């Protein structure tokens, strides 16, 4: 069969706030081929990503992403690989292409899985391991708010939680101490506490080191994104100077970059957003490399159940990667994209058993969130958003 | 003074061909502040880059690029640094932002230089060194064509030439031998010959190694982009196995990535496109790091005189970086963007002595190439291209 259509749907909450919550909008991708439909999601700014699909050719290595996808053969995983490589080569100099490719690649895997009646993870091995699900939350506005969030997580099914972004690293060390302490107190002494400092220390190792004792005192299990994604030398330096394992990599938009975070940044946990790195194909490459290097792979997901399912597929066969990120309070929009994955009595989550990504996308509840997008260049309509039915 | 306006002009040749010539379109940036005007150019796919300027906010680290620029203080270089950092932080998850920032950052430097009546390079030191200009050309369609191109370069002012892309690495080794041999024969034995294989070997060291003797036999002075930009381990492996110095880095969209190409990829020449890496600010960081590491900095430029001037500024003070890339036959459009820099009798090129980038942008000859762009989201016009006069 051949790829017949690729559609992109820009969905958005009525109000998008200036906070670190990435679930306030979404770019959903739908691919159709041979009577089957696959869905994917880009973890990306929707408008430039749509523009990347249809941008007029600039030169032989800067072509619109759709040119490499529409009409391509799609009979199995090998064809997804060929499409993936063609996008990387033909859109080499179109920076946003990696984010666009991510959602398309996910949708292609979903479609091929559905056609073969088998979950995506089954292409990578026969096992589908459960993970310790950690509730992923932003820090509160003040320590009391952080405490309440932690308390509420503790009272639910989760046995692990991560707090991140918001005030951390932006005010005084005393404020950071109060927030991390409140998170630990709210969770109680036994739950796993993870902290995400959202790149706040840039390339500044001494400033990051000042926070290290605070995290150590509160038995934090990993320290996520102390630095900018590319600050590899700084990651490695900090890793040698703190007992807390480092985690990072969510900003990577290629498997190469993730390999660098592992090899040169010396993280203990490599965090991959399937919706950014180039989809399930690129994420799988990283999962294999991480296994080889004895590094734990973890998904990065802060959006929908569809994105969560996609992000669990690449490492489903790995028994040694223990954790999975599960958004704790995503937007009402994100919750409409697929079905929530259950957390079992042991606080674990597992990739769905159904074909493809095991998700059913109901489009009618999404329609109220759909943004009409129209792009014209020199009078030609390059993009016009259609409703889901088109 | 404050940044009053940022305009982007998408210019395009009537016909854009599917060849490696990046000068067939352009995204020109114009910044105005305090009665001064600065110009820059993004080496980027124009449409997604315009979209990045105005994309609706997705979350606190995914904001439209213009939000971090318009209204910002602009009294000197320190303010450019502050704008640069704000874009990097506020548009962290908007991948295309780095390419958009590049043109803006260049325009800001041009503007600040003009206001202070001094060339941009003077902010980095008192010296403005001349470089060996190398004529940058694509390989011909066949070896006879490559020979003619080399012959024509030899008969001009250049004493060095680079051939790249096109057929190299795509056919048989015999064809590669014929092309490289034709380039050497056309140039004669004494001129500097550089070869650019345009990432064609991906991550495949053995395939690249097969070409090494061909380059060695033809006295090639550097081997550019044997691999994908991120194939750092492969770069280092090849560097240890061939006598030919390696060059690379044009794909980098951050100073961090360029540092990795130097530190982990072990190139001898780091090639930076000021229009991609984040402008003159990011390029200057790389130039300083390269000097510290004893690696030669080289501009990557395949487009306009404006882009060439911008790309020569960051390393003007470095006496040890010997080369500069000069496009040999850019499109007629590219030649209208600024004034061609002279090649002196010794085959050298130098950054212009005038204020800012030392370029005068005449807009009326550009108007016929201007593409009207209109972007609407949910009925709101986010972008509407204006003519130059607006």
- List, for residues B273-328, the tens digit of each pLDDT value: 999 999 999 999 999 999 999 999 999 999 999 999 999 999 999 999 999 999 99
Q: Which of B19, B43, B51 sits opposite A51 (nearest CB)?
A: B51
- Using the beta-carbon criterion (under 8 Å), do B260 and A260 form an inter-chain contact? yes
Interface test with A, best of B19, B22, B26, B45 (most A CBs within 10 A): B45
- Using the beta-carbon criterion (under 8 Å), do B57 and A16 form an inter-chain contact? yes
The label of the residue with tokens 């061609």 reads: B340
- Using the beta-carbon criterion (under 8 Å), do B59 and A373 form an inter-chain contact? no
Task: Specify the pLDDT at position B389.
Answer: 84
- Using the beta-carbon criterion (under 8 Å), do B18 and A94 form an inter-chain contact? no
- Using the beta-carbon criterion (under 8 Å), do B44 and A10 form an inter-chain contact? no
Instruction: State how far the Cα of B52 lies from the Cα of A46, in Å rounded to an integer.
Output: 10
Three state DSSP letters for chain A = CECCEEEEEEEECCCCCCCCCCCCEEEEEEEEECCEEEEEEECCCHHHHHHHHHCCCCECCECCHHHHCCCCECCCHHHHHHHHHHHHHHCCCCCCHHHHHHHHHHHHHHHHHHHHCCEHHHHCCCCCCCEEEEEEEECCCCHHHHHHHHHHHHCCCCCEEEEECCCCCCCCHHHHHHHHHHHHHHHCCCCEEEEECCCCCCCCHHHHHHHHHHHHHCCEEEEECCCCCCCHHHHHHHHHHCCCCEEECCCCCCHHHHHHHHHCCCCCEEEECCCCCCHHHHHHHHHHHHHHHCCEEEECCCCCHHHHHHHHHHHCCCCCCCEEEEECCCCHHHHCCCCCCCCCCCCEECCCCCCECCCCCCCHHHHHHECCEEEEECCEEEEECCCCCC
Interface test with B, best of A68, A91, A95, A289 (most B CBs within 10 A): A95
Minimum distance, in Å, between the CA of residue B293 and any CA atom of chain A: 15
At residue B255, the 3 state secondary structure works out as: helix
- Using the beta-carbon criterion (under 8 Å), do B55 and A61 form an inter-chain contact? no
Instruction: State how far the Cα of B279 lies from the Cα of B105, in Å rounded to an integer.
Output: 5
Task: Specify the pLDDT at position B179.
Answer: 95
- Using the beta-carbon criterion (under 8 Å), do A20 and B377 form an inter-chain contact? no
Set of chain B residues whose Cβ sits within 8 Å of the Cβ of A8 = none
Torsion sign (Cα): A98, A99, A100, A102: positive
- Using the beta-carbon criterion (under 8 Å), do B95 and A44 form an inter-chain contact? yes
- Using the beta-carbon criterion (under 8 Å), do B18 and A379 form an inter-chain contact? no
Set of chain A residues whose Cβ sits within 8 Å of the Cβ of B16 = 56-59
Task: Specify the pLDDT at position A122.
Answer: 98
- Using the beta-carbon criterion (under 8 Å), do B62 and A231 form an inter-chain contact? no
- Using the beta-carbon criterion (under 8 Å), do B251 and A199 form an inter-chain contact? no
Confidence of residue B74 (pLDDT cuts 50, 70, 90): very high
- Using the beta-carbon criterion (under 8 Å), do A48 and B59 form an inter-chain contact? no
- Using the beta-carbon criterion (under 8 Å), do A254 and B10 form an inter-chain contact? no
Q: Is the pLDDT of residue B390 over 80?
A: no
Q: Which two tokens stand for residue A356?
A: 């493809």
pLDDT tens digits along B168-179: 888 899 999 999
- Using the beta-carbon criterion (under 8 Å), do A95 and B45 form an inter-chain contact? yes
Cβ atoms of residues B274 and B295 within 8 Å: no
Minimum distance, in Å, between the CA of residue A61 and any CA atom of chain B: 7
What residues contact A177, with CB distance under 8 A and at least 6 apart?
Answer: A214
Minimum distance, in Å, between the CA of residue B60 and any CA atom of chain A: 5
- Using the beta-carbon criterion (under 8 Å), do B45 and A55 form an inter-chain contact? yes
pLDDT tens digits along A85-110: 999 999 999 999 999 999 999 999 99
- Using the beta-carbon criterion (under 8 Å), do A59 and B20 form an inter-chain contact? yes
Q: Which residue of A has its CA nearest to B21?
A: A59
Interface test with A, best of B19, B28, B47 (most A CBs within 10 A): B47
Q: Is the pLDDT of residue B147 over 80?
A: yes
- Using the beta-carbon criterion (under 8 Å), do A45 and B61 form an inter-chain contact? no
The DSSP symbol for B214 reads H
Minimum distance, in Å, between the CA of residue A117 and any CA atom of chain B: 34
Q: Which residue of B has its CA nearest to A46?
A: B55
- Using the beta-carbon criterion (under 8 Å), do B257 and A230 form an inter-chain contact? yes
Interface test with A, best of B82, B252, B377, B387 (most A CBs within 10 A): B377
Minimum distance, in Å, between the CA of residue A260 and any CA atom of chain B: 8
Minimum distance, in Å, between the CA of residue B298 and any CA atom of chain A: 19
Cβ atoms of residues A194 and A218 within 8 Å: no
- Using the beta-carbon criterion (under 8 Å), do A233 and B257 form an inter-chain contact? no
What residues contact A292, with CB distance under 8 A and at least 6 apart?
Answer: none
Task: Specify the pLDDT at position B2.
Answer: 98
Task: Specify the pLDDT at position B386.
Answer: 78
Set of chain B residues whose Cβ sits within 8 Å of the Cβ of A19 = 59-60
Instruction: State how far the Cα of A179 lies from the Cα of A185, in Å rounded to an integer.
Output: 10
Across residues A260-288, what is the average pLDDT? Answer: 98
Task: Specify the pLDDT at position A390.
Answer: 66
Set of chain A residues whose Cβ sits within 8 Å of the Cβ of B199 = 92
Set of chain B residues whose Cβ sits within 8 Å of the Cβ of A13 = none
pLDDT tens digits along B80-131: 999 999 999 999 999 999 999 999 999 999 999 999 999 999 999 999 999 9
Confidence of residue B28 (pLDDT cuts 50, 70, 90): very high
Interface test with B, best of A17, A27, A51 (most B CBs within 10 A): A51
Q: Is the pLDDT of residue B45 over 70?
A: yes
Minimum distance, in Å, between the CA of residue A156 and any CA atom of chain B: 27
- Using the beta-carbon criterion (under 8 Å), do B374 and A373 form an inter-chain contact? no
Q: Which residue of A has its CA nearest to B12?
A: A58
Q: Strand pairing of B373-377 and A296-299?
A: unpaired
Q: Which residue of B has its CA nearest to A383?
A: B375
At residue B175, the 3 state secondary structure works out as: helix
Instruction: State how far the Cα of A274 lies from the Cα of B16, in Å rounded to an integer.
Output: 33
Confidence of residue B69 (pLDDT cuts 50, 70, 90): very high
ipTM score above 0.95: yes
How many other CB atoms are found less than 10 A from the CB of residue B190?
9
Q: Is the pLDDT of residue A351 over 90?
A: yes
At residue B32, the 3 state secondary structure works out as: strand
- Using the beta-carbon criterion (under 8 Å), do B375 and A371 form an inter-chain contact? no
pLDDT tens digits along A192-230: 999 999 999 999 999 999 999 999 999 999 999 999 999
Q: Name A119's bridge partners.
A: A356
Q: Which of A257, A375, A382 sits opposite B230 (nearest CB)?
A: A257
- Using the beta-carbon criterion (under 8 Å), do B260 and A232 form an inter-chain contact? yes
Set of chain B residues whose Cβ sits within 8 Å of the Cβ of A99 = 95
Set of chain A residues whose Cβ sits within 8 Å of the Cβ of B99 = 95
Instruction: Return the number of CB contacts < 8 Å for A and B.
Output: 192
Set of chain B residues whose Cβ sits within 8 Å of the Cβ of A50 = 51
Mean pLDDT of chain B: 96
What residues contact B140, with CB distance under 8 A and at least 6 apart?
Answer: B146, B147, B148, B149, B166, B179, B182
Cβ atoms of residues A215 and A234 within 8 Å: no
Instruction: State how far the Cα of B299 lies from the Cα of B202, in Å rounded to an integer.
Output: 23
Task: Specify the pLDDT at position A169.
Answer: 85
Minimum distance, in Å, between the CA of residue A154 and any CA atom of chain B: 27
Q: How many residues in chain A? A: 390
Classify B249 in phi/psi space as left (phi over 0), alpha (psi -120 to 50) or beta.
Answer: left
Q: Give pTM, 2 decimals.
A: 0.97
Q: Which residue of A has its CA nearest to B95?
A: A96
The percentage of chain A sitting over the pLDDT mark of 90, rounded to a whole number, equals 96
Task: Specify the pLDDT at position B247.
Answer: 98
The gap from C-alpha A339 to its chain's centroid, in whole angstroms, comes to: 17
Across residues B230-257, what is the average pLDDT? Answer: 97
């Amino acid at each position: 069969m051949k790829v017949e259509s690729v559609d992109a749907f820009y969905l958005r909450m009525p109000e998008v706030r200036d906070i670190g919550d990435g679930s306030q909008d979404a770019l959903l991708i739908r691919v159709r081929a041979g009577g089957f439909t696959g869905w994917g999601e880009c973890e990306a700014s929707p408008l430039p990503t749509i523009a990347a699909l249809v941008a007029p050719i600039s030169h032989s290595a800067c072509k619109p992403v759709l040119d490499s996808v529409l009409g391509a053969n799609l009979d199995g995983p090998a064809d997804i690989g060929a499409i993936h490589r063609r996008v990387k080569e033909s859109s080499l100099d179109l920076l946003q292409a990696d984010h666009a490719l991510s959602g398309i690649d996910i949708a292609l895997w979903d479609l091929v899985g559905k056609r073969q009646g088998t979950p995506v993870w089954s292409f990578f091995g026969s096992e589908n391991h459960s993970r310790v699900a950690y509730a992923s939350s932003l820090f509160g506005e003040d320590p009391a708010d952080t405490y309440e969030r932690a308390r509420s997580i503790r009272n639910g099914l989760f046995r692990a939680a991560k707090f991140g972004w918001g005030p951390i690293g932006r005010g005084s060390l005393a404020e950071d101490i109060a927030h991390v302490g409140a998170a630990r107190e709210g969770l109680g002494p036994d739950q796993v506490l993870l902290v995400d400092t959202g790149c706040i220390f840039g390339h500044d190792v001494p400033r990051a080191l000042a926070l290290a004792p605070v995290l150590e005192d509160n038995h934090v299990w990993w320290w996520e994104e102390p630095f900018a994604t590319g600050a590899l030398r700084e990651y490695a330096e900090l890793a040698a100077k703190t007992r807390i394992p480092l985690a990072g990599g969510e900003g990577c938009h290629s498997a190469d970059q993730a390999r660098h975070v592992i090899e040169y940044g010396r993280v203990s946990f490599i965090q991959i957003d399937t919706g950014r790195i180039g989809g399930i194909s690129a994420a799988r490459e990283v999962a294999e490399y991480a296994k080889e290097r004895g590094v734990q792979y973890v998904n990065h997901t802060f959006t929908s159940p569809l994105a969560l399912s996609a992000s669990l597929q690449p490492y489903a066969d790995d028994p040694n990667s223990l954790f999975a990120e599960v958004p704790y309070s995503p937007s009402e929009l994100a919750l409409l994209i697929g079905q929530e994955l259950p957390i079992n009595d042991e606080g674990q989550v597992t990739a769905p058993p159904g074909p493809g990504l095991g998700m059913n996308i109901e489009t009618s509840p999404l329609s109220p969130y759909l943004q009409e997008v129209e792009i014209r260049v020199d009078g030609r309509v390059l993009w016009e958003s259609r409703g889901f039915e088109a």
